[in-house]
Structure 1
Amino acid sequence: MDNIKLQELVETISITFFQKPFKHQAMFNPRLRSTGGRYLLGSHNIEVNKKYYELFGEKEIIGIIKHELCHYHLHIEGKGYLHRDSDFKQLLKKVDAPRFCTPLPNQKKKKTIKKIIVYACHNCSQVYKRKRAINTDKYVCGVCKGKLKRVKVLTEG
């Protein structure tokens, strides 16, 4: 599918599901990474991620186009076009458009390793757990003003 076929598909979906014409440009944007498509407020154009067509086929692209057309038509009519607006949610249901697109296979959430640094006071043995390292020359114990020492680093995966 190329940009000309995509434009025709968007125009057809707009008339079929919304009974309104799509008068702007629809195109594939190869730079899109984390989203299936986007509606541009300034130009009223719609950009679609071609990877979704290549991986999931035309059915997924149709869902993305319906979603973006919801933004498009509501914005032009001056109604609530944002994801949180009730107008947007109602129109999504009416045209059976997905709220979110299927995640791409390489976009699975990566586990972040949490690092906790444990400090203890020389004098009173007060323990401090911190996510970020602190300068032990600058900071002292809040209980007795004693010198702090780094005890260990805990990692959680």
Structure 2
Amino acid sequence: MEQHELQALVERISLEYFSKAFKHEARFNNRLRTTGGRYLLKSHHLEFNPKQLEVFGMEAFIKIIKHELVHYHLHLEGRGYRHRDQEFKVLLQKVGGSRFCGMIPHARNQTHVKHYYVCRECGQHFIRRRKMDTRRYVCGVCKGKIKLLYSEEN
């Protein structure tokens, strides 16, 4: 989905479910990780996580759009726009927005590189996720030199 398609979708949902126009900018933000979207209080723009659309599909993404539009319209009307406010909860229930979005698995947590080291003196084995400088560190058992055996990627 392109930016202009997202803008048109948000404007359509705003008119259809809230009977009010969305007059600001809706855009994708690839840096969002733990949230489906956010409403920016100062600029009144909406930002959405494109991964939510990719992973969970259009139906879940529309619920996220509704959630952010509830923040948007209530804030512009000077009413309770926060998650804890009763007006927010009632309007969110009325339009069918989602209270929470699904968790997206982070790419960096899916693959773990393991580095296998061995002490040259006593034969002690070490397994590390992060690579270590063998010139700087020594064996914790005998203070001998360490060498890298091999690295594998899961």
Same fold at TM > 0.5: yes
Q: Aligned partner of 2:62: which letter?
A: I
**Partner Cα distance (1:72, 1:50) in 2:** 19
**Which runs of 4 or more aligned residues in structure 1 lie more than 4 Å from their structure 2 counterparts after TM superposition?**
none
CA offsets 1:24-50 (integer angstroms, 9 cap, x no match): 000000110110000000000000000
Report the alpha carbon displacement of residue 106 of structure 1 after superposing the two structures with TM.
3.8
The answer to whether the aligner puts 1:77 opposite 2:44 as a matched pair is no
Q: Distance in 1 between matches of 2:60 and 2:96?
A: 12
Q: Who is 2:34 aligned against?
A: 34
Shift of 1:55: 0.9
One-letter code of the match for 1:58? M
- Matched with 1:19 is 19
What letter corresponds to residue 48 of structure 2 in structure 1? V
- 1:144 is aligned to none
- Residue 99 of structure 1 aligns to a residue in which SS? coil
Please report how far the alpha carbon of residue 105 of structure 1 lies from its aligned counterpart in structure 2 after TM superposition: 3.1
Paired residue type of 1:98? S
Measured after TM superposition, the shift of residue 60 of structure 1 is 1.4
**Map of 1:96 onto structure 2:** 96
Q: Mind listing any 5+ residue stretches in structure 1 that lack a counterpart?
A: 108-157
Alignment match, 2:140: none
Give distance in 1, aligned partners of 2:53 and 2:82.
25
CA distance in 2: counterparts of 1:97 and 1:79, whole angstroms: 18
Tell me the equivalent position of 2:4.
4
Q: Distance in 2 between matches of 1:12 and 1:66?
A: 11
Corresponding letter in the other structure for 1:82: R
Separation of aligned partners in 2, 1:102 and 1:9: 21
1:46 is aligned to 46
Structure number with greater Rg is 1
Deviation at 1:61?
A: 1.1
**SS, match of residue 105 in structure 1:** coil
* Structure 2 gap ranges (5+): 108-154
Mapped to 2, the partners of 1:103 and 1:7 lie a distance apart of 24
Task: Determine what percentage of the aligned residue pairs are the same residue.
Answer: 59
Q: How many residues align?
A: 107
For the structure 1 residues 106 and 31, does the alpha-carbon distance in structure 2 shift closer, same or farther, using more than 3 Å as the test? closer
Question: More displaced, 86-95 or 54-63?
Answer: 54-63
Q: SS at 2:12's partner residue?
A: helix
